Structure 1
Amino acid sequence: MQIERKLQLMIEQKEHFHGSDLEKIEKIYGIKKENIMSFAANVNPLGESGKLKTALSERIDAITKYPDREYTSLRKAIGSYCKCDYNHITVGNGCTELISLFIQITAPKKTLLLGPTYSEYERDLRINGSDISYYFLKEKDDFKINSDEFISAITADTDLVIICNPNNPTGSLITQDKLKTILTHCKETNTYVMIDETYIEFVPDVDELSAIPLTELFDNVIILRGTSKFFATPGLRLGYAITSNSQILTDINTNKNPWMINSLAVVAGETMFLDEEYIDKTRSLILSEKTRCRQLIEKSHKFKLYPSYSNFYLLKILDEGVDAHMLFERAIRQGMMIRDCSTFPGLKERFIRFCIMKPEDNTRLINCLTQ
């Protein structure tokens, strides 16, 4: 009885969960993590690349040797994939570690965040003593940026601007032209810009929308990417950063631990970026399912759905009698996990987010949400 009461209190306190908190959910709700379909982690529903799986099994002996400390072959593979100079690339133990390293190295006294956005930026900034302010995307504008307003918020004492593009959790995107204007202004104010492109690869015309070409024009910008989401390898912990600023690259490489990337992650990176069939199949699935899911959700008239350039949708609940936690509870009790977005600065308890999974799973979730 005491255990049941403790469980009930935990649920009543409205616990909030990250997409990776399956063990925590298992403990609170009594649902085995293996039976939970996560629509909150934003990971490619196809799973890892078939070529990657084969390469790892065939080259398992790579773990018997230290990896190259310069990671030259891996950086060349990334450079070929991203169409940029491999000398402008450094690698790290996931995108999250590179975020931390960059913030430690630049030590910004004042940082402007484009919000609502990923919480890890704020965490690292606070650890390093930065004064944080937000420019919030407006709901009335469907969370699309007003670049003139945003630029006016970047002043001479702004040391760092952080942009997630496409943005998590809104799915909105800033085009190359607008980013170029922002970077030009930041060059004048002597401001660094960090652009997190974790979700850019889900966009079909990625080369036209990515900020990577702008690194050839501006040395005050660093682009961060990882393989967790698009390539469905969050356990691999492979991230990379691209910048033409040689001093920043030197500082990152000097301050990070040697052999941050293990030998199997090197094999994975040299393989997965070449799997064009997997890349095309992923983009085709995400695009077709986003279209179908949008039509089903709009037909229900229960949510406001915001335009998204990523593999997830942000929804606003229109029913006054329902909030995000209630829908989270309804879904999790059916073995499906969505994201309650009330913890994102700038959003309240009427917003949820879910990522695109396989067709039959998407249908089951939408039926659950719209019942």
Structure 2
Amino acid sequence: MNTTKSYIAKKVEEIKPSGIRKFFDLASGMEGVISLGVGEPDFVTSWSAREAAILSLEQGYTSYTANAGLLELRVEIAHYMKTRFAVQYAPKSEIIVTVGASQAIDIALRAILDPGDEVIVLEPSFVSYIPLVELAGGSAVAVQTLKENDFKVLPSQLEEAITSKTKAIMICSPNNPTGSTLSKEELKGIAAIAKEHDLLVLSDEIYAELCYDDEYTSLGAIEDMRDRTILISGFSKGFAMTGWRLGFVCAEESLIQAMLKIHQYSLMCAPTMAQFAGLDSLRNGSNDVEEMKKSYHRRRNYIVESLNEMGLTCHIPGGAFYAFPSIASTGMSSEEFAEKLLIEEKVAVVPGNVFGISGEGHIRCSYATSLEQLQEAMKRIKNFISNHS
């Protein structure tokens, strides 16, 4: 091979590897580490859903499904979205079952973006948003949300970021990494701007089932927003099905048909047995979801109170399973804090700067682990702060 020539696409070369992965790799070779870094439930998928997948295999359902997914599953997703979140989609033409919510975001961006189109991304944001915008040929415009506003975007910030090239706004509520959750009124403010400037909104609602203090509002349920919203969700977080890689995207028909072209050529369909498990989760999993939610709620209250008591100020996250405390009082950068904490106390957290500039001075702590593990982790963090005070 010609070593003087690069065969790698420039846009791929320029994308940085995930900052989260770096700390997973560091922690993986150490014994006795308590990980508050993993963004997945510590619960296993319900036995009922696992049985449904096993039964589908025993009955020989090992072929492709329709590109858009089992119609039976899409009908159930439509019913779920209508009864649970008050937004209605046609099962045959407005829903695609995807390989996780991440693939749904990918095909949505590739379906709508031409070279040079801009997407407003609210930071701190999940690490894949900006790379996926760039891989789709678009330009990401980061808007920095602030701790003083509980990391919620102000309408004035959106107005300032919009240009003639803006195609869409990307939101995530409840948010990863901050846990901040947009109220109905706050969503109306975003909707008004989207309508005024004729923009689409990609709404990542993967944590919708994990909303603690207020009733969750889907952006698609806001008046006149259904047809300009690309609603992304899935089974990973609320139904504890991360390894099944099962998500879905809902949108008006022309958008879905564009996404379906990309989906059918790149992945054909989501795994059949995973779809049967998802079908069972929607039909029989509500009690399991509620029990998980109660457990996360208790853990949230414990970890936020503990962090604040030790001087790492932390707002109360409205949803998801992340706390995002400030470590500014220690005088360390996010990366320095996370690296030293891992080496000295064997607690793995994610430095806030991997989620964008406004995440600097913070760390992300996942409380998707047992209360006993959280209690031990808080003791270790408190000892770490004492040693560096």
Q: TM-score, normalised by structure 2?
A: 0.81
The sequence identity of aligned pairs, in percent, is 20
Q: What is the distance in 2 between the residues matched to 1:185 and 1:210?
A: 17
Give 1:25 deviation, angstroms.
3.1
Q: What is the distance in 2 between the residues matched to 1:36 and 1:299?
A: 23
Aligned to 1:8: none
Give 1:313 deviation, angstroms.
0.5
Q: What is the distance in 2 between the residues matched to 1:185 and 1:16?
A: 31
Q: Aligned letter for 2:97?
A: V
Is 1:224 aligned with 2:232?
yes
Give the 3 Å change call, closer, same or farther, for CA 161–291 of structure 1 in structure 2.
same
Q: What is the distance in 2 between the residues matched to 1:19 and 1:30?
A: 13
Aligned to 1:73: 72
Q: Is contact 2:327-2:334 (8 Å) kept?
A: yes
Give 1:316 deviation, angstroms.
0.7
Q: Is contact 1:113-1:162 (8 Å) kept?
A: yes
User: How does 1:327-338 map onto structure 2 within 5 Å?
Assistant: 327-333=337-343, 336-338=347-349
Q: Aligned letter for 2:269?
A: M
Aligned to 1:89: 95
Q: What is the distance in 1 between the residues matched to 2:54 and 2:341?
A: 36
Q: What is the distance in 1 between the residues matched to 2:215 and 2:315?
A: 23
1:176-216 Cα deviation digits (max 9, x unpaired): 23323322332232211111112222104775422242387
User: How does 1:254-269 map onto structure 2 within 5 Å?
Assistant: 254-257=261-264, 259-269=268-278
Q: Is contact 2:324-2:362 (8 Å) kept?
A: yes
Q: Aligned letter for 2:179?
A: G
Q: Is contact 1:20-1:41 (8 Å) kept?
A: no
Give the 3 Å change call, closer, same or farther, for CA 180–75 of structure 1 in structure 2.
same
Q: Secondary structure at 1:256's aligned position in 2?
A: helix
Q: What is the distance in 2 between the residues matched to 1:305 and 1:295?
A: 8
Give the 3 Å change call, closer, same or farther, for CA 292–19 of structure 1 in structure 2.
farther
Aligned counterpart in structure 1 of residue 162 of structure 2, from 151, 154, 158: 154
Give the 3 Å change call, closer, same or farther, for CA 216–52 of structure 1 in structure 2.
farther
- Indicate the larger mover: 329-338 or 272-281: 329-338
Give 1:230 deviation, angstroms.
2.4
Is 1:40 aligned with 2:37?
yes
Give the 3 Å change call, closer, same or farther, for CA 20–56 of structure 1 in structure 2.
farther
Aligned to 1:249: 256
Q: Aligned letter for 1:292?
A: Y
Q: Aligned letter for 1:355?
A: S
Q: TM-score, normalised by structure 1?
A: 0.85
Q: What is the distance in 2 between the residues matched to 1:177 and 1:122?
A: 26
CA RMSD of aligned residues (A): 2.6
Q: Is contact 1:43-1:230 (8 Å) kept?
A: no
Give 1:155 deviation, angstroms.
4.2
Aligned counterpart in structure 2 of residue 308 of structure 1, from 314, 317, 336: 317
1:268-319 Cα deviation digits (max 9, x unpaired): 1101123121011011111111112222222222x01023122111011143
Q: What is the distance in 2 between the residues matched to 1:51 and 1:201?
A: 19
Q: Aligned letter for 1:147?
A: P
Aligned to 2:202: 194
Is 1:234 aligned with 2:238?
no
Q: What is the distance in 2 between the residues matched to 1:265 and 1:89?
A: 17
Give 1:175 deviation, angstroms.
1.9
- The number of residues matched between the two structures is 350
Give 1:240 deviation, angstroms.
0.6
Is 1:272 aligned with 2:272?
no
1:39-72 Cα deviation digits (max 9, x unpaired): 2222122222222223233332345333244421
Give the 3 Å change call, closer, same or farther, for CA 20–236 of structure 1 in structure 2.
farther
Q: Please, which runs of 5 or more residues in structure 1 have no aligned partner?
A: 1-14
Give the 3 Å change call, closer, same or farther, for CA 347–189 of structure 1 in structure 2.
closer
